[in-house]
């Protein structure tokens, strides 16, 4: 546990990715293989179910510390995390227990069917043998909520640095079906449980936001113009009659879209295509808010397939019949993509439209009209460009529609995490609904450090109520909130959901009397 505790500490004190990668590599070098497997499992969501109820843990710590419940709740509200609150309140340990991570986890798994008294005896003995940081980790292992600032990509890059194995192959390996009890560490990294050759993806080619005048791009005839869509960028692979779908986040999402797998399976030949997975109904592209209902589902029900059908807008052809086409020009790849579609038809696979235009002056009108059919704007791709790795300035540009904005008042504030844990950085905003306020968005980006400090001081002086780590504040501070899209939503009290809300600016020149109404917010849906 000490090695794991030291790793977590090393990760939490830095926001530099390379430092996190080095800490992970050092950890993998010194711990047994079982600990390595369980770390990968914990960091990729393969956590054991909760063996002890949190209310029992709360009652045990009150019994040990003799604290009144109100003081415990105040401490919890200040800290914001139950596991950390317990770890901080417990007295210093009288014993020292040192066991590897995998033993702790195996014991917790075996603890689940035991009686409450047996659970209490085990947990109290553990608390009495662990230091504060180790207790925190132990409590998080019990709670099943293990959120650490390490993305899957960072974890994979650390494993790639350790092993020398291709990062994409490792990503496929660790998100596949496996259990720490049924595979060795080496077999996991080498993908013994998968068929990687058939599913191997290519790095995505990405675009920069347009940062120059259109006329500076040169001759219009040198560019291919398409609509930019707001979905899930996907790379669909068909090799040896097997179909795989990779997201831009380097996650294998094949099981989430069975209708796409079925449609691609019917196409002739082997290929790798790049496109956008979208919610599409009656030939119309739906909002991302609709597509979200389909994401991260282990099982896609028949009802959900009917309510939110998906389709694929295909942009590019990266491989055809085992030939890598990425060094071919955009124009050549497009021609071959059209040939592939000419001999194959599908109701849910669409060839992305190439927009015909004669001069740059037409594009502003096209861009502004894009939101009316749920497009994010325009993509400009140089016809001579290769399908390169990542971003390369000058070849692909994205020109999104201007964001929508509203004025809203802050009514809740919550402290951040990590280096921002002492300041209020997460805010909830509301608009008017007759004589009341109704929440419409949460946002935590868009302010300067100086503004965050100023707002935090204001929250400390103007907090009205406490709900755990959240503070209700006086409805006085007005902000302009920008967002990419808006839709009706039954899940939100306001009846609307905003896409990518963020703070555009603090409107010190406005009061709560000047904020938008829920009717004016909903009018944006009809207008766009």
Q: Which residues are catalytic?
A: 228
**Measured between alpha carbons, how far is 216 from 416 in angstroms, rounded to an integer?**
43
Cα torsion angle, 410, 412, 416, 421, sign? positive
Phi, psi dihedrals of residue 139, rounded to the nearest 5°: -65, -35
183 contact partners, CB below 8 Å, separation of at least 6: 37, 192, 193
35 contact partners, CB below 8 Å, separation of at least 6: 3, 4, 100, 101, 102
Distances, alpha carbon 360 to alpha carbons 148, 159, 222, 386, in Å: 47, 47, 12, 23
Q: Exposed/middle/buried for 454, CB within 10 Å: 0-12, 13-18, 19+?
A: middle
Strand bridging mode 323-324 / 310-320: antiparallel
In three-state secondary structure terms, 295 is coil
C-alpha torsion angle, residues 500, 501, 506, 511 (rounded to 10): 160
**Measured between alpha carbons, how far is 244 from 238 in angstroms, rounded to an integer?**
7
Phi, psi dihedrals of residue 417, rounded to the nearest 5°: -130, 165
Q: Copy the structure tokens of residue 445.
A: 């980006």
């Amino acid at each position: 546990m000490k090695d794991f505790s030291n790793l977590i500490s090393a990760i939490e004190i830095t926001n530099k990715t390379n430092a996190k990668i080095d800490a992970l590599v050092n950890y993998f070098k010194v711990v047994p293989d079982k600990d390595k497997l369980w770390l990968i499992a914990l960091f990729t969501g393969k956590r054991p179910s909760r063996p002890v109820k949190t209310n029992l843990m709360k009652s045990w710590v009150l019994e040990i510390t003799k604290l009144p419940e109100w003081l415990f709740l105040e401490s919890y509200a200040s800290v914001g995390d139950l596991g950390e609150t317990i770890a901080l309140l417990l007295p210093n340990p009288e014993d020292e227990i040192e066991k590897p991570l995998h033993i702790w986890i195996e014991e917790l798994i075996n603890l689940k069917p035991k009686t409450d008294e047996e659970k209490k005896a085990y947990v109290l003995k553990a608390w009495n043998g662990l230091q504060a940081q180790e207790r925190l980790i132990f409590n998080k292992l019990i709670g099943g909520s293990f959120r650490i600032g390490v993305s899957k990509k960072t974890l994979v890059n650390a494993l790639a640095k350790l092993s020398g194995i291709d990062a994409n192959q490792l990503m496929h390996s660790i998100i596949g079906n496996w259990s720490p009890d049924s595979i060795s560490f080496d077999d996991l990294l080498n993908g013994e449980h998968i068929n990687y050759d058939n599913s191997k993806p290519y790095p995505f080619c990405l675009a920069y936001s347009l940062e120059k005048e259109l006329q500076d791009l040169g001759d219009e005839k040198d560019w291919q113009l398409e609509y930019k869509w707001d979905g899930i960028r996907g790379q669909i692979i068909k090799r040896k009659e097997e179909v795989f779908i990779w997201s831009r986040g380097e996650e294998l999402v094949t099981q989430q879209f069975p209708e796409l797998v079925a449609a691609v399976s019917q196409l002739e030949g082997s290929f790798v295509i790049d496109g956008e997975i979208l919610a599409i109904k009656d030939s119309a592209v739906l909002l991302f808010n609709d597509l979200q209902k389909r994401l991260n589902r282990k099982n896609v029900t028949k009802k959900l397939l009917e309510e939110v059908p998906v389709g694929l807008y295909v942009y590019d052809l990266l491989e055809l019949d085992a030939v890598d086409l990425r060094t071919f020009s955009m124009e050549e790849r497009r021609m071959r993509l059209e040939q592939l579609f000419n001999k194959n038809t599908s109701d849910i696979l669409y060839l992305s439209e190439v927009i015909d235009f004669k001069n740059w002056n037409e594009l502003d009108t096209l861009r502004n009209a894009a939101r009316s059919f749920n497009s994010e704007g325009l993509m400009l791709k140089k016809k001579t460009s290769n399908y390169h790795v990542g971003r390369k300035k000058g070849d692909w540009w994205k020109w999104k529609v201007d964001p929508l904005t509203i004025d809203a008042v802050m009514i809740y504030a919550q402290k951040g995490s990590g280096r921002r844990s002492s300041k209020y950085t997460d805010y909830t905003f509301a608009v008017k609904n007759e004589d009341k306020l109704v929440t419409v968005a949460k946002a935590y980006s868009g302010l300067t450090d100086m503004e965050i400090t100023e707002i935090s001081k204001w929250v400390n002086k103007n907090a009205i109520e406490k709900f755990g780590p959240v503070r209700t504040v006086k409805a006085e501070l007005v902000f302009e909130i920008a967002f990419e899209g808006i839709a009706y939503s039954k899940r939100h009290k306001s009846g609307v959901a905003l896409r990518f809300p963020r703070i555009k600016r603090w409107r010190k020149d406005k009061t709560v009397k000047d904020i938008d109404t829920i009717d004016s917010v909903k009018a944006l849906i009809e207008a766009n």
